[in-house]
């Protein structure tokens, strides 16, 4: 049986179900939304979330949604915390820039508090995952099988705390024999397999190091087959 309520409007009796009556007057609770963006380097084709590493600069922002509306926070005190340490506070401070600690070895907890909104403090926390630099060797050869002649490979570095490739050092090695000399595009390797080389496996390795921070290093090793 459906319970019904009676509302009198201008002398007319209109029956409404209690479920409809309750939902019509329901209000959603205020909600804080945090977004953040890391300034680390990734290849132009990368479409995922850019992860920070130690000392990475982070830009963060907060918005308040109340009953489906975006609330202006210019007059509200906003406090920002990183791993429970206060990093900045101010009125209307919706956007901040900070850096991951140099000794960070774990994910960081980013928390924001909006003080005294409608009689109470609002809080929101998100985890900022801290990664390590990575590199991938792009292999355009099916089955990792290469042939006599020029075979081209490209390094794809991720999450280094640099602005561009010029701030990275690339060292390629084929069966422990390192590349020699300066080249215009060190992230690209043209591996020349001379005629007469025996078929078999070839180990291709890559070490990428930040010129701005020697502790930022990534290594990749792949096994190729010479056809």
Q: What is the pTM of this model?
A: 0.81
Q: Which residues pair with 209 in a beta bridge?
A: 169, 217
User: Do residues 111 and 123 touch, judged by C-beta distance below 8 A?
Assistant: yes
Q: Which domains does the chain have, with CATH numbers?
A: 31-128 (2.60.40), 134-226 (2.60.40.10)
Cα torsion at 51, 55, 56, 58 (round to 10°)? 110
Closest by alpha carbon to 224, among 169, 166, 153, 162? Answer: 153
Q: What is the pLDDT along the chain (227 residues), one digit of tens a residue?
A: 333 333 333 344 444 444 443 444 456 889 999 999 999 999 999 999 999 999 999 999 999 999 999 999 999 999 999 999 999 999 999 999 999 998 866 899 999 999 999 999 999 999 999 999 999 999 999 999 999 999 999 999 999 999 999 999 999 999 999 987 778 999 999 999 999 888 899 999 999 999 999 999 999 999 999 98
């Amino acid at each position: 049986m459906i319970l019904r309520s009676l509302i009198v409007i201008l002398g007319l009796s209109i029956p409404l179900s209690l479920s409809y009556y309750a939902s019509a007057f329901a209000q959603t609770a205020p909600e804080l939304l945090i977004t953040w963006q890391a300034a680390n380097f990734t290849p132009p084709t990368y479409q995922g979330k850019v992860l920070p590493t130690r000392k990475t600069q982070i830009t963060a922002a907060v918005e308040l949604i109340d009953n489906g509306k975006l609330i202006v926070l210019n007059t509200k005190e906003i406090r920002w915390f990183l791993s429970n340490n206060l990093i900045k506070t101010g009125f209307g401070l919706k956007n901040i820039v900070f850096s991951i600690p140099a000794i960070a070895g774990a994910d960081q907890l980013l928390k924001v508090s909006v003080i005294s909104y409608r009689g109470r403090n609002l809080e929101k926390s998100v985890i900022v995952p801290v990664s390590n630099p990575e590199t991938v060797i792009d292999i355009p050869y099916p089955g990792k099988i290469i042939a006599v002649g020029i075979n081209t490979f490209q390094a794809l570095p991720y999450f280094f705390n640099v602005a561009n490739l010029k701030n990275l050092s690339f060292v390629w090695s084929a069966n422990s024999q390192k590349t020699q000399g300066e080249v215009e595009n060190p992230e690209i390797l043209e591996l020349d397999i001379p005629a007469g080389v025996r078929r078999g496996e070839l180990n291709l390795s890559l070490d990428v190091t930040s010129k701005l921070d020697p502790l930022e290093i990534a290594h990749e090793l792949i096994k190729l087959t010479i056809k």
